[in-house]
Amino acid sequence: ESETLVQTALEELMKHRTTLVIAHRLATVLSCDRILVMEHGRIVEQGTHASLVAANGLYARLARLQFGV
């Protein structure tokens, strides 16, 4: 419940703005236009949630762990 409230508030605040979100929880970035995935201080992937899952790289592995997919 608390996470849903926070997520809803963040989505409202981010509307029509460029926003940099740093998150370990992928649920926080699911609806972002562009996601940058970092590993050891380097950007290793970028795209939308759907494109990153389809690419089956680091983001997809993390999504499977966090969402149990």
Full-model pTM: 0.82
Domain that holds residue 41: 2-67
Tally of structural domains, the chain: 1
Q: What single-letter amino acid sits at 19?
A: T
Tokens representing residue 48 in the block: 């939308």
Burial class (CB in 10 A: 0-12, 13-18, 19+), 59: buried
Q: Give pLDDT tens digits for 7-62.
A: 889 889 888 999 999 998 898 898 899 999 999 999 999 999 999 999 999 999 99
pLDDT value at residue 61: 96
The 3-class secondary structure across 7-65, one letter per residue, is HHHHHHHHCCCCCCCCCCCHHHCCCCCCEEEEECCEEEEEECHHHHHHHCCHHHHHHHH
**CA dist., res. 27 & res. 46, Å (int):** 16
